[in-house]
Amino acid sequence: MDLNTPHVDIPFYQPAGDEIEVFEHAWKNRLPLLIKGPTGCGKTRFVAHMAARLGRPLYTVACHDDLTAADLVGRHLIGDGQTVWCDGPLTRAVREGGICYLDEVVEARKDTTVVLHPLADDRRLLPIDRTGELLAAPPEFMLVVSYNPGYQNLLKGMKPSTRQRFVSLRFDFPDAAREEAVLRGETGCDADLARRLVNIARALRALKDQDLEEAASTRLLVYAATLVRAGMAPLAACRAAIVESLTDDAEVAEALMEVVAATFGH
């Protein structure tokens, strides 16, 4: 397969290291992949980039407390007086030889691991109990999961028996130069705006674990740059896209805005 075909619209992604090579080797060798890193650091964009790069359909599932194995595999639905089986995203990915990406997988209910385990080892099988099928994943299929280790508690950590079934990548926020390149590539903003926004993020990240539950993500910087490019004043854009997304506390928000104002000027 030509990974550089011009006919494929590949989402922008700025590499940090050897993650593209690791993903490609895992896919070629039929190995599942675990990506761990903070919210908004580029995990989802990376998977979308790689799926397009490899020319495979991508099924993304945002995992949550109520997500069950049936939500992934499928269920019988009643319509027009008859019962019809409807594949879930995991089953569709297996049938089509696609990539199934489970974002924040530890948020899903524990019964999902029963489904994932035979897909995440050398069996590469998906049992569908309700139809009696046992699907063998084709060579092109890949299972990718992600989670944020810094946000998990003891009740929602990934079990070693699950984690050790995956090849793993550790993501973090980019260094300043790379993050500026991401902003310019994503939004078309100028170098000065990118530099200022990255400086704000680095200052706010220094407050992590003190006043903020989550660090300022690259995603939020992209939002801010997009708003500024659309004509919004920088201070207003940063309040809407960054500050108010990080805290509900009015006093903390004003303290964060002081950081923004110091960067852009009053």
CATH number at residue 132: 3.40.50.300
Shared domain check, 148 and 59: yes
Among 116, 54, 118, residue whose Cα is nearest residue 90: 116
Task: Looking at the structure, tell me whether residues 145 and 198 fall in a common domain.
Answer: no
Cα 2 to chain centroid, rounded: 25
Residue ending a domain, choose from 113, 142, 170:
170
pLDDT bracket for residue 200 (50, 70, 90): very high
Domain check: are 158 and 181 in the same one?
Answer: no
**Claim to verify: residue 101 and residue 23 sit in the same structural domain:** yes
Q: What is the pTM of this model?
A: 0.84
Residue 46 pLDDT level (bands cut at 50, 70, 90): very high
The reply to whether 27 and 151 lie within a common domain is: yes
Which residue, of 131, 146, 170, is where some domain finishes?
170
Q: Is the pLDDT assigned to residue 216 strictly greater than 70? A: yes
Q: What is the pLDDT of residue 183?
A: 94
The domain boundary residue, chosen from 170, 198, 229: 170
153's CB contacts (< 8 A; 6+ apart) are none
Distance CA 180, CA 195 (A): 6
Q: Are residues 157 and 30 in the same domain?
A: yes
Is 89:72 a contact under the CB 8 Å cutoff? yes
- Mark whether 25 and 155 lie in a shared domain: yes
Are 188 and 154 in the same domain?
Answer: no
Are 92 and 126 in contact by the 8 Å Cβ rule? The answer is no
% of the chain residues with pLDDT over 90: 62
Residue 136 buriedness (CB in 10 A; 0-12 / 13-18 / 19+) = exposed
- Better-scored residue on pLDDT, 79 or 234: 234
Compute the distance between CA of residue 162 and CA of residue 157 in angstroms, rounded to an integer.
10
Range of the domain at 151: 19-170
Domain count along the chain:
2
* Residue 248 and residue 231 in one domain: yes
Q: CA-CA distance, 94 to 115, in Å (whole number)? A: 12
> Rounded CA gap, 266 and 242, in Å?
18
pLDDT of residue 130: 84
Long-range contacts of 161-167 (CB under 8 A, 24+ apart): 162/113, 162/116, 162/117, 162/120, 163/34, 165/32, 165/117, 165/120, 165/121, 166/31, 166/32, 166/33, 166/34, 166/120, 167/22, 167/26, 167/31, 167/32, 167/33, 167/34
